[in-house]
Amino acid sequence: MTVLSIENFSVDYLVDPVVHAVKNVSLELRRGEVLGLAGESGCGKSTLAYGIIRLLKPPAAITSGRAVFHSREGLEIDWNALDAEELRANRWEKISMVFQGAMNSLNPVISIRDQFEDVFLTHRPEMSRKDRRARCAELLERVGVDPRRLTSYPHELSGGMRQRVMIAMAMALEPQVMIMDEPTTALDVVVQREILREITRLRDELGFAVVFITHDLPLLLEISDRIAVMRSGEIVELGDAAELYTNPRHEYTKQLLASFPSLTGDRGSFVRGAMDDRLLALDAVEVTS
């Protein structure tokens, strides 16, 4: 079953000359799956994500297409047709987003608890203070953070903790879709592995679907059900992760696969070795942790 469908979606930056950042992208996100979105920096991945959830700022503008959310109850919501009040009511409740820079996404002068409670005061005004606080503690526990950290400020948390807090906030209203824009890019490999483990566990527990955006193709090969490869604003290849790894069809996908150097062997001789090295290294982290 489809939970989110992107139809002929285009985004332009209205400058002189006009920049066509996303060009007629069509995708379907299935309920409960992890869809990886890969590509080099500047290819339009984040612009697509911000366009889907309608967080683009001028001079960026959606110039064609639509994003349609399909609820479990069978309702279809055309995200592009929502007015400001409807968008405010549905965003984070139906579709949420984990941004790339956790430190920049969290308010530096407000405690973690207050930032969580703001979400519930806006979307769940009927909740009592006791229920809000209990829910905040539950969310932090779900992502492996001590609830006592609710009184902390963002600068008092490590990078990994801040990213976990962002994931917990994105889950607060139990959305059916989570868009994750390079959530592990700035983290070391051990913390990255822990975050990925949490995302996979939470997806299995709660059943939400994930659009996972990164330039790190080996990472996507490990966690994704399907992968879409993006280049110059267009999807050039889409397929099952295993199939894309073993039998890439597009030349650009082959170049991406070949861009990760192997840990062994002569320089320039890599075809698949780096992928195997990366996955083995991450497995080793899993075992030792």
pLDDT the model gives residue 173: 93
Can you give the CATH number for the domain in which 245 is found?
Answer: 3.40.50.300
Distance from C-alpha of 25 to C-alpha of 4, rounded to nearest angstrom? 13
Cα 284 to chain centroid, rounded:
25
Is 221 inside a domain boundary?
yes
Distance from C-alpha of 221 to C-alpha of 275, rounded to nearest angstrom? 9
Is 200 inside a domain boundary?
yes
pLDDT the model gives residue 286: 55
Is 278 inside a domain boundary?
no
* Residue numbers in the chain where pLDDT is lower than 50: 268-274, 289
- Of 192, 119, 108, 116, nearest to 156 by C-alpha is 108
Is 288 inside a domain boundary?
no
Task: Please name the residues in contact with 205: beta carbons below 8 A apart, sequence gap of 6 or more.
Answer: none
**Spatial strand order in the sheet of 209-214:** 95-98, 177-181, 209-214, 34-38, 226-231, 234-240
- Of 21, 76, 77, nearest to 49 by C-alpha is 21
Distance from C-alpha of 177 to C-alpha of 7, rounded to nearest angstrom? 17
Is 38 inside a domain boundary?
yes
pLDDT the model gives residue 269: 47
pLDDT the model gives residue 73: 84
Q: What sections of 106-182 are H helices per DSSP?
A: 112-123, 129-142, 159-171
Is-contact 11 64, C-beta < 8 A?
no
Is 60 inside a domain boundary?
yes
Each residue of 207-243: pLDDT tens digit?
A: 999 999 988 888 898 899 999 999 999 999 999 999 9
pLDDT the model gives residue 263: 59
Distance from C-alpha of 254 to C-alpha of 244, rounded to nearest angstrom? 9
Is 271 inside a domain boundary?
no
What's the domain count of the chain? 1
Domain holding 78, by residue range, is: 2-257
